Structure formats: C-alpha cells, structure tokens
Amino acid sequence: DVKVTQSSRYLVKRTGEKVFLECVQDMDHENMFWYRQDPGLGLRLIYFSYDVKMKEKGDIPEGYSVSREKKERFSLILESASTNQTSMYLCASSFPLGTGGETQYFGPGTRLLVL
C-alpha cells in the first residue's frame, strides 16, 4: 500500500512565524505535490516537484516555498504565516504521467490555524 505521511495533523501558529510542513512517501514516487483545501474552493495546487531539487509553481504559490532534498521528502514552508493561510494542507505523490502518474495518493492532511 502507498503510504504518504505528514508531520503534523494539527498545528497552531502565530502570525509572522515560520512554519514547516513535512511530507514523506514510501513508494519511490517521482512527483510530489502540496495542496490546500478550503470550503467551496476544492483542492488548489500550491507547488509540485517532479524530481529531487526540482519544483514548479502551482496555482497559488504566493506566501509559500518548498524544498525537496530527498526523493521521499517534500517540505512546504510558510516564511511568515498569515491568518489567510489558515487551511487544511494536503500532500500527495505519484509516478510520472504515462506510468500511472494520473493517480495521486494523498496524506492525511495538516490542519493549520494561524492566530
């Protein structure tokens, strides 16, 4: 079974703090993704990575950065947390497109509250 784990299920941070969200997958997937889920907006892609040290902006990258130093690990960084970044953050991974990459596998999510 594919397993995608996220470092925290719940986080409470203060405005201006630096926040690290970590994601680890054990299926040797090349692709990894960070989404945020908000009511009525579905899942919106923040960043994705198709290889170690490679990253590409998604639809809403502002206020976020990412790091992928190892294939199995993809980190999302909020340099200076703001209240509008309160959300559910979901990590996913997949094989490259054409090799089953159409299906992404998700972690359990991190619910972040920024006060």
Partner 1 sequence: DQQVKQNSPSLSVQEGRISILNCDYTNSMFDYFLWYKKYPAEGPTFLISISSIKDKNEDGRFTVFLNKSAKHLSLHIVPSQPGDSAVYFCAASRADGNKLVFGAGTILRVKS
Residue 60 CB, shortest distance to partner 1, in Å, is: 12
Residue 15 CB, shortest distance to partner 1, in Å, is: 25
State yes or no: residue 61 binds partner 1 (CB under 8 A): no
3-state secondary structure of 84: helix
Select the residue interacting with partner 1 from 3, 12, 18, 41 (CB under 8 A): 41
Phi, psi of 72 (to 5 degrees): -85, -5
The string over 22-34, giving b where at least 16 C-beta atoms fall within 10 Å of a residue's C-beta and e elsewhere, is bbbbeeebbbbbb
State yes or no: residue 84 binds partner 1 (CB under 8 A): no
Task: Report the candidate in 36, 103, 93 with the shortest Cα–Cα distance to residue 70.
Answer: 93
Select the residue interacting with partner 1 from 19, 46, 90, 112 (CB under 8 A): 90
Tell me if 42 sits within 8 A of 35, measured CB to CB.
Answer: no
3-state secondary structure of 55: strand
State yes or no: residue 8 binds partner 1 (CB under 8 A): no
Residues 17-36 contacting partner 1, CB under 8 A: 31, 33, 35
The whole-angstrom distance between residue 98's C-alpha and the CA centroid of its chain comes to 22
Q: Which is nearer to partner 1, 84 or 103 (CB)?
A: 103
Interacting residues toward partner 1 by CB under 8 A: 4, 9, 31, 33, 35, 40-45, 48, 50, 58, 90, 92, 94, 96-97, 101-109, 111
